[in-house]
Amino acid sequence: MAIRVVVQEEPFDFGAEAECFAAGRSDMGAVVTFTGVVRDVSGTLETMEIEHYPGMTQKALEKIAAEAEARWQLGEVLVIHRHGRMGPGERIMMVATASPHRGHAFEAAEYLMDYLKSRAPFWKKESGTGGTSWVAAKDEDEDALSRW
């Protein structure tokens, strides 16, 4: 079982990451990838800035990935999360899971997403023609954890 967690400012190459994720693992019948993209809901967004807590981020993500590993049958887990400034349509993060079973790969990917939304120390700030504001956490993000 391999867990890889990457926290970086620069863009990542989704194609290359997806291509080499669990490559050559003939025991993994299912690979799920999820990508989070900067969304411009109102058509006024110019940039999104993601702040993080450098000392804590990597550890928090590794802990979430290790939890997923303990709960599902996984061969590989990948989490990439960016920080810094990005524009609408840019990729913020991705997770990938590989498992012998499709159900495990999907559920683990959803679990990773739910937890890294509200338990990994990232904060989004949106700037645009409507001004600048911190993105507020949603109650449903917190509620999403209760299903696990």
Chain residues in the site for other proteins (CB under 8 A): 36, 51, 53, 55-56, 59-60, 81, 92-93, 113, 116-125, 134-137, 141-142
Integer CA distances (angstroms), 115 to 4, 68, 120, 141, 144, in order: 16, 10, 7, 9, 9
Sign of CA dihedral 94, 100, 103, 104: negative
What's 26's DSSP letter?
A: T
Q: Give least dist CB 105 to other proteins, A.
A: 18
The edge-to-edge listing of strands for the beta sheet with 91-99 is 2-8, 76-82, 91-99, 30-37
Q: Which is nearer to other proteins, 43 or 55 (CB)?
A: 55
Q: Give least dist CB 101 to other proteins, A.
A: 24
Q: Which is nearer to other proteins, 44 or 132 (CB)?
A: 132
Q: Give least dist CB 121 to other proteins, A.
A: 6
Q: Which is nearer to other proteins, 14 or 53 (CB)?
A: 53
Q: Which is nearer to other proteins, 13 or 51 (CB)?
A: 51
State the burial class of residue 66 (Cβ atoms within 10 Å of its Cβ: 0-12, 13-18, 19+): middle
Q: Give least dist CB 103 to other proteins, A.
A: 22
Q: Give least dist CB 7 to other proteins, A.
A: 10
Q: Which is nearer to other proteins, 70 or 136 (CB)?
A: 136
- Size of the chain in residues: 148
